[in-house]
Chain A
Amino acid sequence: MRLLAAVFACFAVAATAEEVTTYQLDNGMDVVVIEDHRAPVVVHMLWYRAGSADEPVGSSGVAHFLEHLLFKGTDTVESGEFQRVVAENGGSDNAFTSFDYTGYFQRIAADRLPLMMQYEADRMTNLVLTEEDIVTERGVILEERNQRTENSPGALAREQMRAAQYLNHRYGVPIIGWKHEMEELDMEDALSFYDLYYSPNNAILVVAGDVEPAEVLALAEEHYGPIPAEPNLPERIRSQEPPQIAERRLIFEDSRVAQPYLTRSYLAPERDPGAQEEAAALTYLAELLGGSPFTSALGIALQFDSTTAVYSSAYYDGLNLDDGTFGLTVVPAEGVTLQEAEDKMDTAITAFLDAGIDPERMEALRTQLKASEIYARDDVGGLARRYGAALTSGLTVEDVQAWPEILQAVTAEDVLAVAERVLDRDRSVTGWVVPNREVLQ
C-alpha cells in the first residue's frame, strides 16, 4: 500500500469543510474517503473509468448493458443475491452509466460496509452470465430505451442534436445505445468490455459517511487489494472533433411534439486537470445568459421585455473527459414563430456581449455559489458523486477541492472572453423541434 496523500480539505469559502482522505492501493485502485459523522450511514460507491465513449465501434450501449448484467451472479453469488442482501439490511442500491464512467453504489448502515465491499469486489472479477441472462436483460434495456427515448420526442431530438454536434467523437452516440446495435449485443460484447475495463487500476472507490479513513483503507486492502491489475488497460484516447467550420442545423419532426421549441448547442471546453478557469467562466456564462428566468439575460429579454418565450434556459456541464457542450433552449410563446424566437435569442446574446456584465450580477452569483457549498455539505452522497464524476473525467482530488475557489475568482472579463470564443454560430448546432412542417410556414 502506498499512501499517496492524506488531505484535509478546508476551503477558503467560509464555513465549508469536508474531510477527505485519499489513498491508492498497490494494484492501482484509487480510494477516496469523505467523513460525515452526523448519522450512522455510509455510501459505498465504485466508479469505473469506462463509459459509453469507451465502447468499441458497433457495440453502442454495451457499457450500460454490462451495468445491468452486473446484478446477475458470480462464481459464488446467485443472480440478484447482492441486491437482496442490500435490501435485507435496509439499504438501497443502484448503478449508473455515463459517457465517461460507470458507477455502482449502496447506501446502508455504516457497520455493513465490509459486506458491501465483499460483494462489490467479487463482482469486479467473478461475474458469471448465462445466455438466458443476456436475452432477458437485453429485452429490459430495449424497454428502457423505449421508455426513456422512443416514447419521448424531446429525448429523440436531443439524440439527433448530439449526433450532429459530434462528427468524430463518441459523445455523439447515445449512452443507452442505438437501437439497432443494442438488439445485436451479445455475451461476448459484454464480457470483453468487462474483462478489459472492470479492473482495480481502472476503478475509484468512494466511501462517504460515518467511517474512519484508516478502517476504510484496511477494508479496501482486504477486499479489493488481492485483485490483480489489468496490464493491458488502454489509454483513454478518443478520436477528437475536427475544427467545426460550418454551422449545422436540423429540423426534428414528430407528431407527438405538443409545443415547438428550439435548441442550440456549441462545442465547449471541459474542466481540465490544473486548468479549470475556462470551465468556471462558462459556468457563470450559463447562469448569466439563461439561469434564473427572472435575472438572466435571455429570461429578461424573451420573457419580460418581450413576450417571445414561455421558457428559456442555458446549460453547461464541464465534467467530461473531452469537449462538452454549452446549450440554449427557447420555447416560443403562442403565436411566435421559431424563426422569430431564434432571431430574438441571437439579438439578446449579442446585446449581452456588447453591454458588458453588471458587477452586481457577478457578485450575486458568487454569493450563491459560495452558499451552494454550505448547502452541499448536507448531502454526503452528493459530495461522493462529485469526487467520483471528477476522478473518472480526468480530474484529480486537488482539482475538485480547488474548484470552489476557482469559481470565486472568475471576473466579468473572463466570462466575456470565453463567451466570445464559445458562442460562435459556425461552431454550433441549432435544432427546431416541431410536430409537423406546417408550423414552419
Chain B
Amino acid sequence: MIRYIAALWLTLLAATAQAEIDIQEVTSPGGIDAWLVQEESIPFVAIEILIDGGASLDLPGKRGATNLMMALLEEGSGDLGARAFQEAREALAASYGFDAYDDSVSISAVFLSENRDEAVALLRQALTEPRFDQSALDRVRGQVLSIIRGEAQDPNDIAGTAFDKAAFGDHPYGTSINGTAESVTALTRDDMIAAHRNALVKSRVHVGAAGDISAEELGALIDTLLGDLPEDGPPRPDSVDVALDGSTTVIPFDTPQSVALFGHEGIDRDDEDFFAAYLLNEILGGRGVESRLMREVREKRGLTYGIYTHLVPKDLAALYLGQVASANSTIAQAIEVVRDEWAKLAENGVTAEELQQAKTYLTGAYPLRFDGNAEIAGILVGMQRQGLPADYVVNRNAMVEAVTLEEVNRVASELLDPEGLHFVVVGQPEGLENTDQ
C-alpha cells in the first residue's frame, strides 16, 4: 500500500514563463521517500537516485574503491556475466548510469513503459547482486589506471589535484576519488564488497522520478529496487577547514596555454546568506558573457575564451572556485585582472542595476530548467538531498527577489577575500612567481 502524503499542484510563476510542476511526494510501502512528476505524453520514465556518503567513505588505504565499485555495477550480476548483462539491457533499450562523487553515489535509469518491469528487475539485480568477477575487476581497473595516467598529463587535472591537496590535505576531499595508481592496483574483490556494503544503504537514499508512471507504481518500483539494501552505513568523515593561504602555486608544464584555478573558502548551502552569495557569484563570474570577469578578461581584453566562478558547497566544506586559461604570455595579466575585480567587488559591492539584472535572469531562467524527464528527476533528487521542501519550486523565485542590495554587499565584503585568493597555475606562465612555500 502506498502511504500517499501529498500531491501538490505547484504552479511556478515567473516574469516570463509559467510552468506547472506537479510534484507528488510518495512514500513506498517499505518506507522509502520519493518525489515524482508524472508526465504521460511520452512512454518512458527517468529515475534518479542519490545515496549520501560516496567516495568519502573509502576506507583507509583503499582510495578509489567506491569509484571502482560503482563502475563494476554494470559489469555483471546474479547469473549474468558482464556481456550477458549488457545484452539483456540492450534488448530492453534501457539505459543505466552508475557514478561516484565526493559526497554521494548516483544511479540513473531511463526505461520504456512497455518493458518497465523487466528493466527494473535487471537494475535491481545490478544494485543488490553484483558479481564483482575478478576478470571484470581487472579489466575496469585497467581503464581506471589509464584515466589516472591521463590526469597526470592534463593541465586542468594537474591544477585540480594540486588545488584540492592544498585546500583539504589528508581529508578525503584532498585526493581524487579515482585513487592513485598504487591504491587502485592493490584493490581486491573483498574491497569491492566492502565498498558496496558501505555506499548503497537505505537510510541515505533520495529518489526523484519523472515520466510515464503513477505514484503507486513508483512506490512498488522503489521497494523492488532498493528494499533489500542494508539499512545504514558507516559514519561519514568530519567536516574540514579550507586551508588555503592566498599564495600562488606554479606547476611547470610544457604547454602553450596556462590553466589557472583559483579560490578560497565558500559558503554552505544552508547558510541564510546563500541566496545573496549566489546572486553575488552570478554577477562576478557565474553568468557567462554578462559577468564582470567575462567582460573584463574576455570582452575588453581578449585574454581568454572563458572565465567562470562557482560556489561549491560540499557536505563537509564549502569552496568558492574559479578558473581561467590564457596563453603563457598573458596569464599573469589575466590573474591580475581577477585579483583587481575580486578586491573591487569586496570593497564597493555591486550596483542596484547589476543586482536587478541578475535577479531577472535567475528568476526567468528557473522555470526553463524543468526541461525533460531526466532533468526533472535530477532536480527533484537534488532538492531532497539539500533538504529543501517540495514547495521550494514555487517559493524559490520569491526568495531570490527578497535579497536586498545591502545583503549582497555585506556578503561581498564578508565572503570575498582578495588576500586569501589562492591560485594554482599549470603551464609556463611568464612573469608569475611561485609564492607557495
Contacts and interface: CB of A to CB of B under 8 A. Distances in A.
B361 interface: yes
B255 A311 contact: no
Nearest to B326: A143
Contacts of B145: 334
B272 interface: no
A111 interface: yes
A88 B364 contact: yes
A334 B151 CA distance: 16
A295 B87 contact: yes
A40 B367 CA distance: 9
Interface in A119-167: 135-144, 146-148, 150-151
Interface string A57-71: 000000000000001
Contact of A90 (B86, B112, B364): B364
A39 B370 contact: yes
A98 to B, nearest CB: 18
A371 B112 contact: yes
Contacts of B151: 258
A202 to B, nearest CB: 27
A10 interface: no
A91 B287 CA distance: 12
Interface of A: 15, 38-41, 71, 80, 83-84, 87-92, 107-112, 135-144, 146-148, 150-151, 255-259, 292, 294-295, 300, 303-304, 307, 310-311, 331, 333-334, 364, 367-368, 370-372, 374-375, 377-379
Contact of B91 (A310, A367, A377): A367
A112 B371 contact: no
A294 B142 contact: no
Among A39, A295, A303, A372, max chain B CB count under 10 A is at A39
Given A87-B290, A138-B302, A255 B257 contact: no
B326 to A, nearest CB: 6
B290 A89 contact: no
A441 B327 CA distance: 35
Interface stretch (B14-22, B168-176, B312-320, B335-343): B14-22
Contact of A295 (B90, B142, B150, B155): B90
A143 B371 contact: no
A109 B368 contact: yes
Contacts of B302: 135-140, 143
A371 B93 contact: yes
Contact of A370 (B91, B93, B154, B259): B93
Given A109-B368, A147-B325, A307 B360 contact: no
A91 B305 contact: no
B364 A151 contact: no
Interface stretch (B26-34, B37-45, B403-411): B37-45
Contacts, number: 182
Interface of B: 14-19, 39, 41-44, 82-83, 85-87, 90-91, 93, 110, 112, 138-139, 142-143, 145-146, 149-155, 253-257, 259, 287-290, 298-306, 325-327, 357, 360-368, 370-374
A143 B361 contact: no
Nearest to A83: B289
Contacts of B16: 89-91, 108-109, 111-112
A92 B368 contact: yes
B14 A39 contact: no
A415 to B, nearest CB: 17
Given A39-B371, A294-B87, A367-B91, A150 B290 contact: no
A238 B342 CA distance: 50
A318 B175 CA distance: 42
Given A87-B290, A151-B155, A259-B146, A374 B373 contact: no
A151 B256 contact: yes
Nearest to B426: A151
A364 B91 CA distance: 5
22 contacts: A15-B43, A39-B370, A41-B17, A90-B16, A90-B367, A91-B16, A109-B16, A109-B364, A111-B16, A139-B302, A140-B302, A143-B302, A143-B305, A150-B255, A259-B146, A294-B87, A310-B143, A364-B87, A364-B90, A375-B44, A375-B110, A377-B42
Given A140-B302, A151-B257, A90 B17 contact: yes
